[in-house]
Structure 1
Amino acid sequence: MSYSEEFRLLVDAYKKTDRDGKVLLNNKFGNLVISKDKVVGKNEIKGFHIKHKSIKDGVRVGIFIDEDARIEFPIHLCFGMLPKEGRQVIKSEFFIGKGAKVKFLAHCLFPNAVHIEHIMDAKVYIGENAEMSYLEEHYHGDTGGAWVYPRLKGKIDKDGKLCEEFKITNGRVGVLNIDYEIEQEERSSCELLTRVYGKGDDKIEVRESLQLNGVYAAGIAKSKIMLIDNASGTVLGEIAGNAAYTRGHIDCQEIVHGEGAKASSMPKISVNNSLAKVTHEASIGRIDKKKLETLMARGLTEEESVSFIVNGLLK
Structure 2
Amino acid sequence: LCTGYLEKKGEQLLQFNYNIGSNVKVRFKSHCILTKIEKLHHKMVSHMYIGKNSFVTYEDEHFHDENGGIFVETITYAKLDKNAFFQSKFYATKTRIGRINVVMDFDIDDYAKADLESKIYGKKDDKIDIQEILRLNGQYASGIAKSSIFATDSTQANVINEAYGNGAYSKGHIECNEVVKGSDVLVSTVPILKVVNEKSELTHEASVGRIRQDQLDILMSKGLDEEEAINIIVNGLIS
TM bracket, shorter-chain basis: over 0.9
Paired amino acid for 1:78: C
Q: Secondary structure at the match of 1:170?
A: coil
1:118–1:102 CA distance, 2 compared to 1 (3 A): same
Q: How far apart are residue 82 of structure 1 and its match?
A: 2.9
Whole-angstrom CA distance in 1 between matches of 2:233 and 2:203? 28
| 2:103 aligns with one of 158, 161, 179 | 179
Whole-angstrom CA distance in 2 between matches of 1:313 and 1:299? 19
The answer on whether the counterparts of 1:113 and 1:144 sit within 8 Å (CA) in structure 2 is no
* Map of 1:213 onto structure 2: 137
Deviation digits for residues 165-197 of structure 1 (CA, Å, limit 9, x no counterpart): 110001100000111111011000001100000
Q: TM-score, normalized by length of structure 1?
A: 0.71
* Map of 2:48 onto structure 1: 124
1:87–1:125 CA distance, 2 compared to 1 (3 A): same
What is the correspondence of 1:96-135 to structure 2 with a 5 Å cutoff?
96-135=20-59
Whole-angstrom CA distance in 1 between matches of 2:225 and 2:146? 34
1:111–1:305 CA distance, 2 compared to 1 (3 A): farther
* Map of 1:25 onto structure 2: none
Deviation digits for residues 112-146 of structure 1 (CA, Å, limit 9, x no counterpart): 12211100000010000011100000000211111
* Map of 1:147 onto structure 2: 71
The answer for unaligned runs of 5 or more in structure 2 is none
* Map of 2:206 onto structure 1: 282
Q: How far apart are residue 307 of structure 1 and its match?
A: 4.4
* Map of 2:216 onto structure 1: 291
Q: Secondary structure at the match of 1:142?
A: coil
Paired amino acid for 1:291: L
Whole-angstrom CA distance in 1 between matches of 2:185 and 2:163? 27
* Map of 2:183 onto structure 1: 259
Q: How far apart are residue 310 of structure 1 and its match?
A: 1.7
The answer on whether the counterparts of 2:216 and 2:230 sit within 8 Å (CA) in structure 1 is no
Paired amino acid for 1:162: F
1:87–1:158 CA distance, 2 compared to 1 (3 A): same
1:145–1:269 CA distance, 2 compared to 1 (3 A): same
Count of matched residue positions in the alignment of Structure 1 and Structure 2: 236
The answer on whether the counterparts of 1:227 and 1:257 sit within 8 Å (CA) in structure 2 is yes
Whole-angstrom CA distance in 1 between matches of 2:65 and 2:212? 28
- Pair member with larger Rg: 1
1:82–1:291 CA distance, 2 compared to 1 (3 A): farther
Whole-angstrom CA distance in 2 between matches of 1:299 and 1:260? 24
Paired amino acid for 1:91: Q
Q: Secondary structure at the match of 1:83?
A: coil
* Map of 1:161 onto structure 2: 85
Compare the two structures and name the one with the higher strand fraction.
2
252-261 or 78-87, which deviates more: 78-87
Paired amino acid for 1:96: I
- 1:84 aligned to 2:8? yes
Whole-angstrom CA distance in 2 between matches of 1:141 and 1:241? 40
- 1:271 aligned to 2:195? yes
Whole-angstrom CA distance in 2 between matches of 1:166 and 1:152? 12
The answer on whether the counterparts of 2:140 and 2:170 sit within 8 Å (CA) in structure 1 is yes
Paired amino acid for 1:183: D
The answer for unaligned runs of 5 or more in structure 1 is 1-76
| Structure with the larger RCO, 1 or 2 (CA within 8 Å, 6+ apart) | 2
Q: Sequence identity of aligned pairs in percent?
A: 38
| 1:203 aligns with one of 127, 130, 141 | 127
1:171–1:305 CA distance, 2 compared to 1 (3 A): farther
The answer on whether the counterparts of 1:185 and 1:215 sit within 8 Å (CA) in structure 2 is yes
Q: Which runs of 4+ in 1 moved over 2 A?
A: 287-295, 297-300, 304-309
Whole-angstrom CA distance in 2 between matches of 1:112 and 1:237? 33
Q: How far apart are residue 86 of structure 1 and its match?
A: 1.5
1:305–1:201 CA distance, 2 compared to 1 (3 A): farther
Q: Secondary structure at the match of 1:312?
A: helix
